[in-house]
Amino acid sequence: MVEVVAALIKDGNKFMICRRPPHKARGLLWEFVGGKVEHGETKEQALVRECREELCVTVKVGGVFCEVVHKYPDITVHLTLFCAEIISGVPKLLEHVDIKWITPDEISGYDFCPADKEILEKIKGE
C-alpha cells in the first residue's frame, strides 16, 4: 500500500482542484494537489513538499479532513486529505494542466480520480 497525501485548500465556499496531465496514470482526471509520502517524511512534510513542487506555493497543514483506502488496478493507496491553507505564493501549473476553484455544488461537473469519490461526498455533505 502506498501512502499518499493531499490538500483540501479552500477559499470561502470554493475549494481547489487540479487536473492531472494526460501522460500520467488517471490522466486528465481531477484531483486534490498532493502525492506520495517519501521515506523519512511525515505526511505533513510530504504535503508541504508536494504543494511546493506541483503548485509553487507554501501551505500550512491543518487537521485531517478524512482518510480513504482505494484499490486501483495498478496500485492501492492510503490517501490522507488534510485541510491546508496557502501562506505564500500563487498557484502555478508546474505539474497539472489546469486548476479550478469550485463549490460543492459544482463537483458533478468534473471527472475525479476514483479514490476521491468518498471525499467528495463528504465535502457535499458539509
| pLDDT exceeds cutoff 80 at 72 | yes
The separation between the first and the last C-alpha atoms of the chain, rounded to the nearest angstrom, is 29
Given this model, what pLDDT does residue 6 score?
98
Domain of residue 52, CATH code:
3.90.79.10
pLDDT in tens, 77-116: 999 999 999 999 999 999 999 999 999 999 999 999 999 9
Residue 42's φ and ψ, nearest 5 degrees, are -80, 165
C-alpha distances (whole Å) from 75 to each of 15, 22, 104, 120 are 27, 18, 28, 21
Please give the Cα distance from 49 to 85 (Å, whole number): 14
Q: Can you give the residue range of the structural domain that contains 28?
A: 2-125
In this predicted structure, the answer to whether residue 125 has a pLDDT above a threshold of 90 is no
Q: Is pLDDT of 25 > 90? A: no
Indicate the number of domains in the chain. 1
Q: What is the pTM of this model?
A: 0.94
The pLDDT score that the predictor gives to residue 90 is 97
User: What value does the mean pLDDT take over residues 8-26?
Assistant: 95
Strand 58-71 vs strand 76-88: parallel, antiparallel, or unpaired?
antiparallel
- Range 17-26 average pLDDT: 94
For residue 2, what pLDDT band results from cuts at 50, 70 and 90? very high
Q: Residue 55: which pLDDT band, with cuts at 50, 70 and 90?
A: very high
Positive or negative CA dihedral for 107, 20, 46, 86?
Answer: negative
Q: Above 80 in pLDDT, residue 43?
A: yes
